[in-house]
Structure 1
Amino acid sequence: MPLTTRRRAGWSWRTLLPWAIGVVPVACGLAVMNWQIDRDLRASSHATAAQVVEHVERILDSLSSTAHALLPLAGSPCTQVKLALRGQVTRNAFVRSTNLFQHNTLYCSSLFGEFDEVVDASEYTNGTLWLMDGNSVTPGHPLLVYRASEGDHGAISTVDGDHLLTALRLIGPDDTLQIRVGNDWMGKDGIVHKGVPPTAATAAVTLSSTRYPFSVYGGYGAEKQGQLLRSHYPALLSLLMVLGVLAGAACHWQIRRATSPRAELQRALEADEFLPYFQPVVRKGDYRWAGAEVLMRWNHPREGLVRPDLFIPYAEHSGQIVAMTRALMLHTAQSLAPYAALLEDGFHIGINITADHCRDLSLLDDCRTFLQHFPPGRVALTLELTERKLIEATPVALELFEKLHDMGVMIALDDFGTGQSSLNYLRQFKVDYLKIDQSFVAMIGVDALSLHILDTIIELSGKLGLGIVAEGVETEAQRDYLAQHAVDFQQGYLFARPMPAEAFLEALAARSGVSRLPQDAPPEIMRG
């Protein structure tokens, strides 16, 4: 419905006032949302740039320690020291090659042994760091080179530019990020340019390392603010429009009372209309059901099953998601507990939580109540952190996660690799599992870049000692690829679709060799 109309002769202020009233909440709401988005973008841009600086500093720490370890060998014959050079490459994950020079001539390399190449100290920023656009071995491929010298001799260590690209693309997938060393800089395209990096159109930030001569330029494109307004606030924008239209229309005619979404969710909660659906998770090797993710479905009395994307975002925005999750956990426990014998010991049950659950310690009581329904060790409860709202590392949140781990509850990062804070969560919270987003799994055999990111996530989980779950597995090719890469658990339509409690229990019974469920099934299950 338009908020303005063509003015006709004879209209008075009484006719125009309703339209003006309708415009006010929309205009004010847009102004506040734009201000909030701009503020959030600036904070996010600064935090992302800081993470990139920290990551590159860790890479350079490895290069620096390697170069200084080899510095005493500079000047020795190459035949005597080349094994030491290669040993440093083997022991350091970031180091690609090591080299020795004297009298401004590189005479020994871990790649070729004896070598002869001019070393120009003026090409290194502060005499130590150089961002190259390639060398004779890999022309056009970026390299970051660290130089340590003492008198007329010294050592050089290099890192492949792919490590820098991984940091730029994983830490800030939506940011405009560049690394600058002296008069050279590189962005996410992996090409080394000369001069000063272009300034980002939105939330531009420049952070310089206090330990090494490099800087990180961050920010977002001009379209980012509009994208966030459309993608993060659709419910709020719709609500503003509805409020504006209703405020204006109420001055002209009587309308039927619109049902408040909040009131409708509260009514559904009191009517016990939110039901658990279970999507099995299979383990590697034998692909047996090792657990299940519990998904919320709304069994509306008139509309039937309502898709979660139609009510979960509003429930999170309105703060009702905590009560809805508590009811879902109780419903799940009451549905599964009478049939706990069908579950293997340590059967994983995954429940999604958001930032709203981390503002107090009431989640501890909910988890304790859930686990008390089952024999000790029968169920392993896993809370999956979603990133629709940022979870801040407040003292309350840190205490909550610590006590959850003491209780035996595990923590998983849901949709890992797509949110802006996934790596930050790994640093701030004790996490047990990473759940690879289905968008990366879908690119297996299709998109090489996404496949590299997927491999990096799998490698990262291994280095951190974390379990890993792949979501959205729909083809045998995806299943086999993940199995070859030792992914612990898989989940997707290839194995089973989400199903109501009764169907889930019947499938469990069939897999356990039980012909049918007991006839005295509790009413929670029979409602399905």
Structure 2
Amino acid sequence: MPLTAKASRSWFVRYALSLLIGLLPILSGIAILHWQAARTLGEDAGKTAGEALRQFDLMLDNAAESANVILPLAGQPCDDIKLALREQVTRQPYVRAANLAWNNNLYCTSLFGPYQEAIDPADYVDGTLWLMNGNPVTPKSSLLAYRLQDGKGAAMVSIDGYHLANTLRLIGREAGLYLQVGDVWISGQGQVHEGTAPGFAVGQTSLSSSRFPFSVSTGFPAGEAWRYVGKEYPAPMALLLVFGVLAGATARWLQKRSGAPTHELRRALEAREFIPYFQPVVRSDTRQWAGAEVLMRWRHPREGLVRPDLFIPLAEDSGLIVPMTRSLLQQTAALLAPHAASFEPGFHLGVNITARHCQDLELVDDCRDFLAAFAPGQVRLVLELTERELIEPSAVAHQLFAQLREMGVMIAIDDFGTGHSSLSYLRQFNVDYLKIDQSFVAMIGADALSGHILDSIIELSAKLELGIVAEGVETLAQRDYLTSRGVGFLQGYLFGKPLPAEDFLDNFKRQACTQEDNIAVSE
């Protein structure tokens, strides 16, 4: 709805002040709830970090126990001690492998027995822990190695990365959770990354082990506090909404003042500022103009042309859509009747109607007056049912459509396939045309699912012997696709934009001349 700087300053101040009074307690209450939610999430993050720290300490305690058992064996022949290494793997939870080294040379493993590989103690944080992305045996499986040294001998016990990732997932199922060892870290996905683990927007908590050189960090992503507010505080939110209702009631009262949008609509209706624009509908086989859709535009004295989506919903809610449509029909008849002789007989003129039009029989008189302005059979009026409001199949509605059909008025379902009532309209009303919504046309060649839906609509119209109009045709590829599938009528920017009557008639005359020239050339 147009609002300009020329509007009443006192009205604007009153409206802004009332709105501020309504919003202030709501916004302050929401801010308090958000703070409480963030505080609670911070406490939860602290508990999560503490539980994860205890669990990883327990894993490493098992690894340390195994290392203490096998370390005295370091330096002995591998064939004599390999069974003792394997015994630790089978007996200790979480332990995947046990290995021994002498003089920084790995020479015996629980998996292979004798083995030769140089060991660099610098790879281990504090000479104790090494979080690896994998090793030559399992290059795609991470693991955490614990190292214990005594003189020339050293024991290395590894924990499978599966246990690490599983612990991170289970304990951090509601919060993000990372394990950091030196300059590498791992998440519940099991991948090892270099650098410092990412931070969290809400409840950031980090804890370090007092016994081993690792830390855990946890927290929640941005927006989690708002989600928590919606989930955990429904009662306070409902109380805050009461204040919102009061603010809405205040705004509604202001709307009834002289500067309210509904009054602006009534003023514009009396001033005949709602004018018809026309967009051509062409035959797919000959490209000849077969009709036009009549579209309502608001020519505001200060704002210029106002988009329909800014005033049509309000017009429907206020009931003004009925007299506005009546004015649209009257203006269309006055503008086109003097030129109707140049139209092909049965030239279609489509006008949108809503549930408001179907509540009484006044629409019958409006349509009768419209058709009376033209020679019999010169134009065909098509009423397009929209779904902004559901049309109830009442006795009055059925009587209305029966009388319209007796007059020769045709019925189309607009934007077919996008609303919840399209199929019910086919059952309840005697429909002549389906208008395919432009969203399906736009996805031709780009989206297979939309293409299947589009083909199904075309097939349905053929089975029901209904005419079909495709809206939003903008490319030659879309035109050819629809034509090849037997869509009879096309509408869109490829053939013409919505124009005022004078420009529409000029374009129509040029199109008619071009059509005649093409016929003459072909003959």
Q: TM-score, normalised by structure 1?
A: 0.51
How is 1:162-173 mapped onto 2 (pairs within 5 angstroms)? none
The offset of 1:346, in angstroms, is: 0.3
Shift in alpha-carbon separation, 1:413–1:18, aligned structure 2, 3 A: closer
Distance, in Å, in 1 between the alignment partners of 2:436 and 2:479 is: 13
- In the alignment, the residues of structure 2 paired with residue 508 and residue 340 of structure 1 have an alpha-carbon distance, to the nearest angstrom, of 11
The equivalent residue for 2:299 is 299
Alignment of 1:2-17 (within 5 A): none
Q: Deviations over 1:350-401 (max 9, x none)?
A: 0000000000000000000000000000000000000000000000000100
Letter of the 2:447 counterpart: D
Q: Which secondary structure state, in structure 2, belongs to the residue aligned with residue 512 of structure 1?
A: helix
Name the structure 1 match of 2:268. Answer: 268
User: What residue in structure 2 maps to residue 244 of structure 1?
Assistant: 250
Q: Per-residue deviation at 1:511? A: 2.7
User: For 1:440-486, what per-residue CA distance to the aligned partner results, in whole angstroms no more than 9, with x for missing partners?
Assistant: 00010000001000000000000001000000000000000000000
Shift of 1:286: 0.7
Say whether the 8 Å CA contact 2:22–2:246 is kept in structure 1. no
Which residue is equivalent to 1:313?
313
Distance apart, 1:22 and its partner CA: 3.8
Counterpart residue number, 1:403: 403
State how 1:422-461 maps to structure 2 within 5 Å: 422-461=422-461
**Equivalences for 1:413-492 in 2 at 5 Å?**
413-492=413-492
How far apart in 1 are the matches of 2:251 and 2:266?
24
Q: Does residue 1:493 correspond to 2:499, yes or no?
A: no
* 1:280-310 residue CA offsets vs partner (Å, 9 max, x unmatched): 0001211110000000000000001101010
Q: Which amino acid aligns with 1:244?
A: T
Structure 2: which amino acid aligns with 1:279? Answer: Q
Q: 1:239 to 1:386 in 2, by over 3 A?
A: farther
Q: Measured at CA, do residues 20 and 405 of structure 1 come closer, stay the same or move farther in structure 2, by a change above 3 Å?
A: same
Cα RMSD over matched residues?
3.0
| Residue type at the aligned position of 2:347 | F
1:240–1:403 distance in 2 versus 1, CA, 3 Å: farther
Q: 2:333 & 2:310 partners in 1: Cα distance?
A: 25
Given that 1:384 and 1:413 are in contact with CA atoms closer than 8 Å, whether structure 2 keeps it comes out as yes
Deviation at 1:506, TM superposition (A): 1.1
Deviation at 1:263, TM superposition (A): 0.5
Q: Deviations over 1:122-178 (max 9, x none)?
A: xxxxxxxxxxxxxxxxxxxxxxxxxxxxxxxxxxxxxxxxxxxxxxxxxxxxxxxxx
Aligned residues between the structures: 283
For the structure 1 residues 447 and 340, does the alpha-carbon distance in structure 2 shift closer, same or farther, using more than 3 Å as the test?
Answer: same
Where does residue 342 of structure 2 map in the other structure? Answer: 342
- Kindly state the Cα deviation for residue 510 of structure 1 after the two structures are TM-superposed: 2.1
Does the 8 A contact of 1:23 with 1:244 survive in 2?
no
- Aligned-partner Cα distance in 2 for 1:477–1:240: 53
Q: CA deviation at 1:512?
A: 3.3
Give the aligned partner of residue 187 of structure 1. Answer: none
Distance 1:274 1:245 in 2: 26
Q: What is the rounded CA distance, in whole Å, between the counterparts of 1:490 and 1:365 in structure 2?
A: 30
Kept in 1: contact 2:18–2:250 (CA 8 A): no
Q: 8 Å contact 1:470–1:491 — kept in the other structure?
A: yes
Question: Is the 1:22–1:246 Cα contact (8 Å) retained in structure 2?
Answer: no
The 2-side partners of 1:20 and 1:338 are apart by: 55
Instruction: Tell me which residue corresponds to 1:373.
Output: 373
Opposite residue 250 of structure 2, the aligned amino acid is G
Q: Is the 8 A contact 1:22 1:243 kept in 2?
A: no
Shift of the 333–238 alpha-carbon distance from structure 1 to 2, 3 Å rule, reads farther
Contact 1:383 1:411 in 2 (8 A): yes
Amino acid at match of 1:491: Q
Write out aligned runs for 1:140-151 (5 A). none
Instruction: Tell me which structure has the larger Cα radius of gyration.
Output: 2
Normalising by structure 2, report the TM-score. Answer: 0.51
**In 2 relative to 1, CA 339–240 (structure 1 residues): closer, same or farther, beyond 3 Å?**
farther
Which structure 2 segments of 5+ residues have no match? 1-16, 28-226, 228-242, 515-523
State the shift of 1:246 in Å: 8.8
**Paired letter, 1:366:** D
Could you list the runs of 5+ residues in structure 1 that have no partner in the other structure? 1-16, 28-221, 223-236, 251-256, 515-528
1:328 aligns with 2:331: no
Code of the aligned partner of 2:469? V
Q: Closer, same or farther in 2 for the Cα pair 1:442/1:19, shift >3 Å?
A: closer
Q: 2:19, 2:247 within 8 Å by CA — same for their partners in 1?
A: no
2-structure distance, mates of 1:369, 1:491: 27
**1:502 alignment partner AA:** E
Whether contact under 8 Å (1:21, 1:244) holds in the other structure is no
Partner residue of 1:394?
A: 394
Deviations 1:166-222 (A, max 9, x none): xxxxxxxxxxxxxxxxxxxxxxxxxxxxxxxxxxxxxxxxxxxxxxxxxxxxxxxx9
Provide closer, same or farther for how the CA distance between residues 447 and 246 of structure 1 changes in structure 2, counting only shifts above 3 A.
closer
Contact 1:22 1:245 survives alignment (8 Å): no
**1:325 to partner: Cα distance:** 0.2
Cα distance 1:474–1:239, how it changes in 2: closer, same or farther (>3 A)?
farther
Return the letter of the residue paired with 1:319.
G
